[in-house]
Amino acid sequence: MVIVYFSRAGLFPWQYQRIHFFLALYLANDIEEDDELQKLHMFFFLYGRNMARIPKFYKLRQEFICCMDWDLRVTREECEEIQAYDPGLWVWRRDRTCTVGSLEP
């Protein structure tokens, strides 16, 4: 999804900075998993304990979404096309099962 978001944002490769990766990753998490703990970990990785910078991140997130014309939906076909470039890449084998809580009593 991050790769699709980069493409949709329309920036030239030399314009991308580290923050753009985290903006796209945060949006992907929002859309697919919405895991607040993972998003909090992203903030710690980006800013350490300086949580005062989070409001600026949200402003940048909105600007990034606008660059993509609010098109955040990524189809399965788009994901499969990207994965086909390197089908053995470790990230495609990530376990996505939920480890917190259980549906069983």
Residue 59: predicted pLDDT: 96
Are 2 and 28 within 8 A, CB to CB? yes
Residue 96: predicted pLDDT: 62
**Number of other CB atoms surrounding residue 74 within 10 Å:** 19
Domain ranges of the chain: 2-87
Instruction: Give me the average pLDDT of each 10-residue run along the chain (105 residues).
Output: 88 85 91 85 88 92 93 88 84 65 43
Task: Mark 26-45 as b/e (b = at least 16 C-beta within 10 Å).
Answer: bbbbeeeeeeeeeeeebbee
